[in-house]
Amino acid sequence: MKQIKTAIIGASGYTGMELIRTLLTHPNVDLVAVTSRAEAGKRLDEVFPRFAKAKAAAIEFCQPDPDYIASTGAEVAFLALPHGVAAEIARAMLERNIKVIDLSADFRLHSPAVYEEFYGHAHPAPDLLENAIYGLPEVRAAEIAAAKLIASPGCYPTSIILPLLPLLREGLIDADTIVANSMSGVSGAGRKADLSLLFCECNESARAYGVPKHRHLSEIEQELSIAAEKDVTISFIPHLIPVNSGIVTTTTAKLTAGATPEKIGNALESAYSDAAFVRLLGRGKSADTKQVTRTNFIDIGFETDPRTNRVILMSAEDNLGKGAGGQAIQSFNIMHGLDQQTGLNNW
């Protein structure tokens, strides 16, 4: 069986831990390097005792030194790093002929100007943007298969973009009327010390944040604009809820003339009936985070409201799975000619 030497750069956060958890049991992965500046020199099972007796439990965290990573024979590197930091490492990996799957925002946007507007600083590697593929496997599998640099989508964008794309393409909704409300578990904020993320601050509490211009709006509007073939601007309100992981999103939009529930259902079926990790619940069914956490699935249901002439799209995913590590591994599988479900069949 083909073994692909794989590195995880920035492996000590929640997304890094999810990547490790899944890749340790991936039949085609040989995990040869995991990096963390804070944990360098410690064994994997010392930092994460849950991985004791795993096949790579004794591997030691190392510094993110490109030459050392290349010396391990790594063929592909997952980057689970903050935006602004990932680009430099991505360039170094590409220069050493190592493919990159970046889970930060550094390569998701086509425009350096939009990146600067939303992330507050100049893009660190604008010359690489042209070759970066926005890695939605259900939409760009062919491009992913040929890519050397994949920008894996954000968690909120995945939950919003996938339900909307088929309806925009079929002209079933008015693109100027889209409103998306999302609720995410606390792990979406990252593994860090932050007063607002302490247990007593989050437990028994729910709150909106990032209003009115969350950073993920930039990639959401980019991808929706491509589908609609015109500039799309939406309202997006994210919320923090007291669960570890999971995202549930409710998106509404005005229906266009002639749009019916049957046409909406048909558009979703046509787009995703063969998609390995999209589960269509059908009309009148609400997606539930309990059914998708610890998996790479996104569940999508819908309903229409004749009083307001709006469609209501309901989706749920694991922000660390389909919204991050799982989706990145799905792209990894496509890059290497593997079945998309390899290593990801976790229910």
Residues involved in catalysis: 155
Which residues have C-beta within 8 Å of that of residue 320, sequence separation ≥ 6? 14, 15, 18, 155, 187, 245, 326
> CA 329, CA 8: separation in Å to the nearest integer?
12
Contact 329, 76 (CB under 8 A): no
Q: Is 14 helix (H, G, I), strand (E, B) or coil?
A: helix
For 107-212, where are the alpha helices, taking DSSP H only? 112-119, 137-145, 155-169, 199-202
> Residue 298: CB partners within 8 Å, gap ≥ 6?
158, 159, 162, 277, 278, 279, 292, 315, 316, 317, 322
Please tell me the distance from the alpha carbon of residue 187 to that of residue 279, in angstroms, as a whole number: 24
d(CA 285, CA 345): 23
Rounded Cα gap, residues 140 and 211, in angstroms = 30
Task: Kindly state the helix (H) or strand (E) to which residue 90 belongs, with its residue range.
Answer: helix 86-95
Residue owning tokens 């599988």: 333
Alpha-carbon separation of residue 2 from 29, 96, 137, 277 (angstroms): 8, 21, 22, 23
